[in-house]
Structure 1
Amino acid sequence: MAAGCCARVPGLLLQLLLAAAAAALCAGAGAQDGRCDYYELCPATQPSMLNVHLLPHTHDDVGWLKTVDQYYYGARDNIQRAGVQYILDSVVSALLADESRRFIYVEIAFFSYWWKQQTAQMQQDVRRLVCQGRLQFANGGWVMNDEATTYYAAIIDQMTLGLNFLKDTFGDCGRPRVAWHIDPFGHSREQASLFAQMGFDGYFFGRLDYQDKNKRKIQKEMEQVWRASANLQPPQADLFTGVLPNGYNPPSNLCWDVLCSDYPVVDDPDSPEYNAEMLVNYFLNISTIQAQYYRTNHIVMTMGSDFHYENANMWFKNMDKLIQMVNAQQSKGSLINVLYSTPACYLWQLNKANLTWTVKQDDFFPYADGPHQFWTGYFTSRPALKRYERLSHKFLQVCNQLEVLAGPLALTGPYGQGSSAHLRQAMAVAQHHDAVTGTSKQHVADDYARQLAAGWEKCQVLVSNALASLRGSKEDFVFCNQLNISVCPLTQTASHFQAVLYNPLAWGITWTVRLPVKDWAYHVRSPSGQTVPSEVIDVLSEGSENFRPELIFPASAPPLGFSIYSVTRLPSKTPKFRDCCSTSGAQRFSQSLVIQNEHLRVTFDPNTGLLQEIENLDRGLRLPVSQAFYWYNASSGDFMHPQVSGAYIFRPAQTKPFLLRHWANTRLVKKALVQEVHQNFTAWCSQVVRLYPGQRHVELEWTVGPVPVGDDWGKEIISRFDTQLKTNGRFYTDSNGREILERRRNYRPTWDLNQTEPVAGNYYPINSRIYITDGQIQLTVLTDRSQGGSSLRDGSLELMVHRRLLLDDNRGVGEALLEPGDWPGTGLVVRGRHLLLLDTVEAAAAGHRLQAQREALAPHLVLAPMGQGTPYSPGTPALTQFSGLRRELPPAVHLLTLAHWGPDTVLLRLEHIFEREEGSMFNLSQPVTLDLQDLFSAFTISHLEETTLSADQPLSKATRLQWRTSTGGGPAPVQPAPALDPSAVTLQPMEIRTFLASVTWSKDRHR
């Protein structure tokens, strides 16, 4: 539901009370000692027959054609007939009417809101249905998240939110055993790994490439074990995975919803509409055919679809008849048994078959549902929303951390009532597979942004309260959320102000602060009062009538802490912005065009102004690299296929993109604190290539839009890097920001690809980085949001940065991807950054991953007018620097989560960010042991309880179904968890460990 609709995570005491109540209610209904004998609640099957498991379900998008609230309440039926509140009302009533019926529900964002509106009696009835296993939850996340454009930490957060709601409400019987991603458009390996670490027994999905599915059906590999990590010891990230036979829809002719037009079951032989015998024969036939593609005597049929069961009686009444009639044929020799079931009950039967299953180790990208129909456009669609979502993830971590470090004063302080819950829920909604993907209608995308903005407002109050408490002084804190377009009223008007740099990483960080200002001379002081070097540059071209100065100064912040810098404007007369030189039109530099620091030297072609070469001075590497912007003309259909390019589908009209321009108007800026080359390609495409002192990467800040479409061509804009590296058709992409996967052009690891789209069919999701290598040299590009990318020829990389399209691609959204800008009809302008890194393969393995982590959680800037603070304790100076850690963590260890969980309980996640053999040059891929007991300055850990990744069950009690695999060996024996010592916690490569930490608060944590 919308961001403000749902209560925040209860305190620990309330959680225990709720869990105890749920356990008591379930006693005698399959639950013992608070544990739920989940699989023992499953219906009986017939071992000697083909058992057909009917899975009654509804798929309720948390926003798509309508907003979240419109879907819940059933508003705007002129757009789509859908009302989730009525679905849940109707389903519960139908389940209470007949004990044989079963149902699964998935989207907790909707369910939690419905639950709050129910009477005590209805809540008790629903709890009984859950305890009896007749209403089961699948997946259990706040939403069914996308898998291509989502960052792993945001996935974990949204799953944690949903699963802990179920735990608090229903106890162990409410915990889903099965992951259920029936609608996302392709599936990532990291997603499966995360699901396994959350304790799921299996994973079912509906969408995979049509060629892959055909091959699997023939070879009976529709179900197998997914080995979802190359680093974690099997079976830690092994997950049984099944492909559903009909996507997530019912078989043809068997859809009995108000949204369907199939014939109902007419079982009166005297009726002229009688069709029972025909339907029974039809059902027996399709069951037999489907069974040919699966290995056991159990198959499933998904009985439901998008927003089905608003009148659940229609579905169940017809299924009741079908079950009775089909099973009646057993007396005539039929060997088919049909029953109401759930995904978990079906999975249980597969596990009991004790077969040996094949193993999959790659992923399911890209996804195509037919020739020329690759769903790779959404990797980039709505790039501004994708960036806002990534920024919101970072700010949520800032909010969570400060809530812990400052305590109750962060929630109720001098700035009012703060909250992290609103942004947590809005971020969870944003992970939905029609939200961050950019595949919703425009008014729905606007609503996703509205929910995030409302969450930001509540978190900004919390952050202000926390900073005042930790600093010991109340300030008029200001949040400048438009710094990306050089707008901040405070810094552009004030003569004195403070810049508070908060660092959410567990390592100290150095950062260059850039602020729009009014004048050209400023004095900056560090937290200790020392003068900090600073400069002002004009970000517009020299001689422009629009004077746009920005103040630049280097700053640093301790781990999990803040530093406060003081800025004072100095008296000045006339700005002197003769930074260096510029070109326009056909004019070109006669001298070399170079920017350089102590680590890198970047050369540009003096004739074109384009990037020409990068040198890594530390390694003695020199690589010719050209970079330019191109555009694909979006297909409007052709003689081969009518498919067009749209919000989901990427289909260029031709394989070779158009070069936007082979030269750029160029301006060179050389200062002590920054060197930049400003490239202006067209009125709607420009770029600044930048180096700061000490920086080991080249920063390319691009601005694209409004993309012109007056020529009736939809356009898909790429930034392309070309080198002479011999890459043998291979390139490498991250999986949701974590493990790296090798990609090969026109190739799939487990099936023979008939490539019909040589561009779109080679595009993959890039969440944080893509790189190419010849085995010696590695060129990496880091992204600031999710984008589509590829290497379409050896030595080349490309990333799609923007799309503006004129046609709908016929995947349901019913709108062209034609985003408006600030003024109607102008189109969206997007600004973003690519970081370009060149190194040896050995050094890149460490440095590039560390830099990606720094980018994901870059420092957050808060401002305040200087001299207007009110000390909490007169005579006690306010702090100008603070760290939440007594010592920074080793470079291989990332503090993934620090969040409030209860009055004296903290949710703590730590991860080893390196893969095995990665970073071996610097010994970073070794196990790391930490002392957590006195690590934090705000509290001391007195007790640790380790949990599954989603924090909804103790790891010591977590068990998963085990599976025999073709790689050898049977189920691994369950090993008792070793005693947990807070002073010696070890992390293996790529391991995430999750803890509920009981803490004792430091007496001096509040000023």
Structure 2
Amino acid sequence: MLNVHLVPHTHDDVGWLKTVDQYFYGDRNDIQHAGVQYILDSVVDQLLKNPDRRFIYVETAFFYRWWKQQTDDMQNTVKQLVNEGRLEFVNGGWCMSDEATTHYSAVIDQMTMGLRFLNDTFGHCGRPRVAWHIDPFGHAREHASMFAQMGYDGFFFGRLDYQDRNRRMVAREQEMLWRASESLTPPMADLFTGILPNGYNPPEGFCWDQSCDDPPIRDDPDLEDYNVDDVVTRFLSIAHAQALVYKTNHIIMTMGSDFQYENANLWYKNLDKLIRYVNQKQSNGSEVNVLYSTPSCYLQELHRANLTWPLKGDDFFPYADSAHDFWTGYFTSRPALKRYERISNGYLQTCNQLEVLGGPISRKGPFGAGDSETLKKAMAVAQHHDAVSGTEKQHVANDYARRLANGWAHCQVLVSNTLSSLSGSSAPRVYCEHLNVSVCPLTETSKKFSVNVYNPLAHPVSWPVRLPVNGTAYSISDANGKAVDSQVTLHFSLYPSLSLYLSISLALPLHFSLYPFLSLLSISLYLSISLYPSLFLPLHLPFNFSIQPSISLYPSISPSLSTTPSCSLYPSIFISLSVFLSPYFFSSSLSLCASIVTLRDFLSSLLCVCFSRYNASDGNNSESIQMSGAYIFRPNTSTPFIISKTAKTETLQEVRQWFSPWVSQVVRLYTDSRALELEWTVGPVPIGDDLGKEVISRLDSSINSSGVFYTDSNGREVLQRRKDYRPTWNLRQSEPIAGNYYPINSRAYIKDDKDQLTVVTDRSQGGGSIQDGSLEIMLHRRLLYDDVRGVGEPLNETSDIYPEGLVVRGRLLLSLSPPATAADTHRPLAQEVVLQPLITFTDGELHPSTRLEFSGLQAVLPPAVHLLTVSQWDQDSVLLRLEHQYQASESKEHSQPVTVNLQVSDMLEQQQQAQESKEHCLSLRLVVNTMPLPKRGGDPSVWEVNLKPMEIRTFLLRVRQR
């Protein structure tokens, strides 16, 4: 028999055209008719009417809300449906996360939150067995790896490139084994993966929701419009055609779509009839059997088939649904929201750590009741594939940001309570959330204040701290009274037309190494009287380097750069200001280029940093009417336009470049720094010419990259990319720019035998290597047309502060090193950008009894080991995840297995003592091992954690409050 598994389902976006609240309650149906609470009400009612019926549900964020509103009797009824397998949860995360623009740590958190609720509420029968990503716009290998490590049996999705799908249909390779890691030993990251036949919609002609137009099954033979025979014939034809492109005698059909089943009776009444009338044909020789089913039941039948499946080793990016329609614009859409989500992730990890260190006082202390849960839920919602992706309506994006801000406020109370407890000082903590625009009222007005720096990493870091101040001479000392290196620089407006800001702001970079994980360091600043005339600060440079003017002679540029539009227009002679700063030589000039020489290794590479833009397609094109929009990137030419052929450059202790009134850059290189910092500011993007624009930063070098570059997958493993190439099919390239763009979540690089140029980003962005030796990163997008993918409005962001268009600021960190050692730099650097130090302030002098230093670890963890999670699980348990952050063969020194002798009781010394450890899979769905921890003074080797490259190990520690 050909067994057709009908899977009734709904796809409920956790925000898209409406906010999360509006979707749940069914509000603003003038935008979109959708009400999730009514879907769940109706489905439960209909499941009770026929024991054969099945339904699957995905988004725990919505189900959690609905569940809290139910009576005890209804909750017991639903538990019975779950226990009988009639209501099945699939995926089970708080949301269905995006796969291109999310960081793996945030994905793990949101999946853990959703799965924890299901496990606590329904036990074993509520644990999803199948990962279900039917709507995300392309699929990341790291997501498959995480799902495998979370204990899922399989993974189903709906979207993949149209060329890839066509090839797979012919070859009957729509189901495969995805080997999702080059480092983890199989089958640790192996995951059975299936491509659904109709995306996530029902077959054409078989949609019976109130939003559908298909006719119902009319089965009264006395009526003139009786249509059973026609329905059965069409269904059998569709089923046989689908069976031709799959391998087994089992096929799956998704019977549902966006926000369907609000009136579940419509669906189930017709599905009951469909099953009955199709199966009646078996008495006449039909070999088609139709049944209500779920993805896990379908997967079980595929397993029983005992076939050999094709192997998949790369990912499913970029995604195109036709020749000129590449969904690569959302890699960058809403760059400000993407940055806010990223720093919120870092702040949440810090909040979690301080909650563990502070114990009960962190949640109820001198500054009021604080909690981490509000930010956890806001971050979980932000991982949705129409949230951080930037593909929602503007009012929904505002709602996501509001939720994050509310979460920050709750965590700030918690953080203040813990820092007060650890330091012994009840002085109010001040949070300056606008340091990226050099605004902090306390540091600009106080003559005496302290900077409190908390490092959430398990390793020492050297991190520059920049503060706006109102003066030129400061006495700065650390916790031991030792002077801290610093410098004061004038902070001009980045917009020449505005001259200076309303008041002159001075930036104060503090350079010091932070103590390892869970550490607090206080630094006192005392304002001295300045003897320098206003606006005429001397170049006070505490570092050992010289400044000298020089004349540089460049040839006509090397052949590898000669075809690059943004770097082919050099004057043959120009004046530059060269700054020698060991171990780098840095030259900035009007040509927009910099030459970086690593003196230590005697390697050099010409590097050109240039700003360009693509004009967006408006759909008026002979090849295609597709426009650039929130999802889709489609420039109207393959050649970017140079924003400026020359740049106004000023140098104090940093290089400032103005490329136009709306594009500027500050270039910084700190002493002992591993990377060159490019702080870019873009906006408001002008649209007076009625053209949307997509702004890029182009990094052109003399590296011979041979059409190959590398990008990370969700911040973890790196994948090789090749221009105009796909590893699993022969690509017919129709969009030479958009078709070569990939998601860059934290870093990308190009390399040859001698040099590797790595770019570390501060948020998820799109990019590619269009020319050999070149990397381009898309920074900002402002578009005038909708791309007709559902959002219904152009990506044209404005705000009350920037009514003429959004201004976005960010950083790129550039590292040049030999390929053999490059990972030793960019791996930890990427983690430092995600988990930046937390900076708080206290006004006035510190009390003499204040504790100025604290560390929650007795020793630094090995360089290969990252402390991924430290979080309070419940009153008696702490969640701990340890990660090997290097890939196999990536680093000669660090890509080796590591053993950590971790005495957890010492880590929790402040408030708690661990008594027992239970090791779980990544999402805590399954217990792997249980063991008591060694008593204090016992043999530390009793409890050892062994980590192989890219391995994450997850523990729940039972603790006793002191």
TM class by shorter-chain length?
Answer: over 0.9
2: CA distance, partners of 1:246 / 1:569 = 67
- Please, which moves more after superposition, 772-781 or 438-447? 772-781
The verdict on how the C-alpha distance between 1:281 and 1:982 changes in structure 2, with shifts beyond 3 A counting, is farther
Q: 1:599 aligns with which of 583, 601, 621?
A: 583
Q: 2:476 aligns with which of 516, 520, 524?
A: 524
Q: CA deviation at 1:591?
A: 5.0
For residues 165-186 of structure 1, what are the alpha-carbon distances to aligned partners after superposition, in whole Å with 9 as ceiling and x for unaligned? 0000000100000000000000
Partner of 2:565: none
- Please, which moves more after superposition, 210-219 or 570-579? 570-579
Partner of 1:659: 642
Partner of 2:701: 723
Q: 1:547 aligns with which of 497, 504, 514?
A: 504
Partner of 1:686: 664
The verdict on how the C-alpha distance between 1:266 and 1:84 changes in structure 2, with shifts beyond 3 A counting, is same
Given that 1:647 and 1:808 are in contact with CA atoms closer than 8 Å, whether structure 2 keeps it comes out as yes
Q: 2:593 aligns with which of 591, 611, 631?
A: 611
Q: 2:949 aligns with which of 980, 986, 989?
A: 989
Q: CA deviation at 1:825?
A: 3.5
Q: Secondary structure at the match of 2:359?
A: helix
Partner of 2:561: none
1:561 aligns to 2:543 (yes or no): no
Superposed, which structure 2 residues align to 1:195-206 within 5 Å?
195-206=147-158
2: CA distance, partners of 1:187 / 1:279 = 35
Partner of 2:843: 865
- The amino acid of 1:53's aligned partner reads H
- The amino acid of 1:892's aligned partner reads A
Partner of 2:721: 743
Given that 1:933 and 1:983 are in contact with CA atoms closer than 8 Å, whether structure 2 keeps it comes out as no
1:908 aligns to 2:880 (yes or no): yes
TM-score (norm 1): 0.89
Q: Secondary structure at the match of 1:473?
A: coil
Q: CA deviation at 1:823?
A: 3.7
2: CA distance, partners of 1:819 / 1:734 = 28
Q: CA deviation at 1:931?
A: 2.7
Superposed, which structure 2 residues align to 1:777-816 within 5 Å?
777-816=755-794
Partner of 1:899: 871
Q: Secondary structure at the match of 2:329?
A: coil
Q: CA deviation at 1:934?
A: 4.6
Given that 1:50 and 1:336 are in contact with CA atoms closer than 8 Å, whether structure 2 keeps it comes out as yes
For residues 343-377 of structure 1, what are the alpha-carbon distances to aligned partners after superposition, in whole Å with 9 as ceiling and x for unaligned? 00000000011111111000000000001000000
Partner of 2:554: none
Q: 1:214 aligns with which of 153, 166, 175?
A: 166
Partner of 1:629: 611
For residues 295-339 of structure 1, what are the alpha-carbon distances to aligned partners after superposition, in whole Å with 9 as ceiling and x for unaligned? 111001100000000000000000000000001111111100000
For residues 160-211 of structure 1, what are the alpha-carbon distances to aligned partners after superposition, in whole Å with 9 as ceiling and x for unaligned? 0000000000001000000000000000000000000000000000000000
For residues 572-596 of structure 1, what are the alpha-carbon distances to aligned partners after superposition, in whole Å with 9 as ceiling and x for unaligned? 353442448999xx99997542234
Given that 1:886 and 1:934 are in contact with CA atoms closer than 8 Å, whether structure 2 keeps it comes out as no
Partner of 2:567: none
1:479 aligns to 2:431 (yes or no): yes
1:152 aligns to 2:134 (yes or no): no
1: CA distance, partners of 2:64 / 2:610 = 49
Q: Secondary structure at the match of 1:256?
A: coil
For residues 84-120 of structure 1, what are the alpha-carbon distances to aligned partners after superposition, in whole Å with 9 as ceiling and x for unaligned? 0000000000001111100000000000000000000
- The amino acid of 2:817's aligned partner reads D
The verdict on how the C-alpha distance between 1:176 and 1:923 changes in structure 2, with shifts beyond 3 A counting, is closer
Partner of 1:946: 919
Q: CA deviation at 1:534?
A: 2.4
Given that 2:899 and 2:944 are in contact with CA atoms closer than 8 Å, whether structure 1 keeps it comes out as no
1:929 aligns to 2:912 (yes or no): no
The verdict on how the C-alpha distance between 1:519 and 1:588 changes in structure 2, with shifts beyond 3 A counting, is farther
1: CA distance, partners of 2:126 / 2:59 = 13
- The amino acid of 1:386's aligned partner reads K
Q: CA deviation at 1:536?
A: 1.4
Q: CA deviation at 1:504?
A: 0.4
Given that 1:715 and 1:803 are in contact with CA atoms closer than 8 Å, whether structure 2 keeps it comes out as yes
Partner of 1:313: 265
- Please, which moves more after superposition, 514-523 or 807-816? 514-523
1: CA distance, partners of 2:914 / 2:386 = 40
The verdict on how the C-alpha distance between 1:581 and 1:828 changes in structure 2, with shifts beyond 3 A counting, is farther
The verdict on how the C-alpha distance between 1:368 and 1:278 changes in structure 2, with shifts beyond 3 A counting, is same
2: CA distance, partners of 1:474 / 1:995 = 34
1: CA distance, partners of 2:297 / 2:883 = 33
Unmatched 5+ stretches in structure 1: 1-48, 671-675, 870-875, 958-979
Partner of 2:333: 381
Q: CA deviation at 1:824?
A: 5.9
Given that 1:821 and 1:829 are in contact with CA atoms closer than 8 Å, whether structure 2 keeps it comes out as no
Given that 2:684 and 2:802 are in contact with CA atoms closer than 8 Å, whether structure 1 keeps it comes out as no
Partner of 1:697: 675
1: CA distance, partners of 2:363 / 2:942 = 28
Superposed, which structure 2 residues align to 1:17-166 within 5 Å?
49-166=1-118
Given that 2:881 and 2:952 are in contact with CA atoms closer than 8 Å, whether structure 1 keeps it comes out as yes
Given that 2:655 and 2:666 are in contact with CA atoms closer than 8 Å, whether structure 1 keeps it comes out as yes
- Alignment coverage as a number of residue pairs: 917
TM-score (norm 2): 0.93
The verdict on how the C-alpha distance between 1:95 and 1:554 changes in structure 2, with shifts beyond 3 A counting, is same
1: CA distance, partners of 2:237 / 2:35 = 35
1: CA distance, partners of 2:32 / 2:610 = 43
2: CA distance, partners of 1:986 / 1:779 = 32
- The amino acid of 2:920's aligned partner reads T
Given that 2:921 and 2:954 are in contact with CA atoms closer than 8 Å, whether structure 1 keeps it comes out as yes
Given that 2:897 and 2:946 are in contact with CA atoms closer than 8 Å, whether structure 1 keeps it comes out as no
Q: Secondary structure at the match of 1:567?
A: strand
Q: CA deviation at 1:981?
A: 7.1
Q: Secondary structure at the match of 1:142?
A: coil
Q: Secondary structure at the match of 1:299?
A: strand
Given that 1:629 and 1:659 are in contact with CA atoms closer than 8 Å, whether structure 2 keeps it comes out as yes
Q: 1:645 aligns with which of 628, 637, 642?
A: 628
2: CA distance, partners of 1:931 / 1:385 = 38
1:669 aligns to 2:652 (yes or no): yes
The verdict on how the C-alpha distance between 1:736 and 1:263 changes in structure 2, with shifts beyond 3 A counting, is same
For residues 510-551 of structure 1, what are the alpha-carbon distances to aligned partners after superposition, in whole Å with 9 as ceiling and x for unaligned? 222110011111111201122223221111179957412112
Q: CA deviation at 1:982?
A: 6.0
Partner of 1:12: none
- The amino acid of 1:919's aligned partner reads S
1:763 aligns to 2:723 (yes or no): no
Given that 1:392 and 1:427 are in contact with CA atoms closer than 8 Å, whether structure 2 keeps it comes out as yes
Given that 2:549 and 2:578 are in contact with CA atoms closer than 8 Å, whether structure 1 keeps it comes out as no
Given that 2:571 and 2:591 are in contact with CA atoms closer than 8 Å, whether structure 1 keeps it comes out as no
Given that 1:556 and 1:563 are in contact with CA atoms closer than 8 Å, whether structure 2 keeps it comes out as no
Unmatched 5+ stretches in structure 2: 540-546, 551-569, 931-939
1:882 aligns to 2:854 (yes or no): yes
2: CA distance, partners of 1:933 / 1:536 = 42
Given that 1:249 and 1:302 are in contact with CA atoms closer than 8 Å, whether structure 2 keeps it comes out as yes
**CA RMSD, aligned part only?**
1.9
For residues 38-60 of structure 1, what are the alpha-carbon distances to aligned partners after superposition, in whole Å with 9 as ceiling and x for unaligned? xxxxxxxxxxx110000000000
Partner of 1:577: 537
For residues 233-272 of structure 1, what are the alpha-carbon distances to aligned partners after superposition, in whole Å with 9 as ceiling and x for unaligned? 1001000000000000000000000110100010011112
The verdict on how the C-alpha distance between 1:775 and 1:369 changes in structure 2, with shifts beyond 3 A counting, is same
Q: 2:834 aligns with which of 836, 856, 859?
A: 856
- The amino acid of 2:586's aligned partner reads V
